[in-house]
Amino acid sequence: QVQLVESGGGLVQAGGSLRLSCVASGMFVASANMAWYRQAPGKQRELVASCSSLGTTNYADSVKGRFTISRHSTRNTVYLQMNGLKPEDTAVYYCNAIYRLGDYWGQGTQVTVSS
């Protein structure tokens, strides 16, 4: 059974940094297409960053140059390093895995950026 557990969210001032973690079980992050999404109040869920099983990364234009997605195969964990945070980055952040035709989601972690 695949499970994704996010952590690392919190309250931070504008310009600050956070690192989100997504620990996977029941699957291997190195063999999956992994991604981070976010959903702000009243808005649709949007893709923030993705990392394919081949290591190709993609970012939303709004976070390019500020956020970095990475994975640690030994720890079976995917990270989202977020620097230069802005109030508009405030959202619930979700980890997503596409693995062996399955589509899996974590429970989300809240990120709040104060101005």
Tens-place pLDDT, residues 56-76: 999 999 999 999 999 999 999
Low-confidence stretches of the chain (pLDDT < 70) are none
Cβ neighbours of 49 (radius 10 Å): 23
pLDDT of residue 23: 98
According to the model, what pLDDT value does residue 57 have?
Answer: 98
- The string of DSSP codes covering 50-63 is EE-TT--EEE-TTT
- Determine how many CB atoms are found less than 10 A away from the CB of residue 46: 12
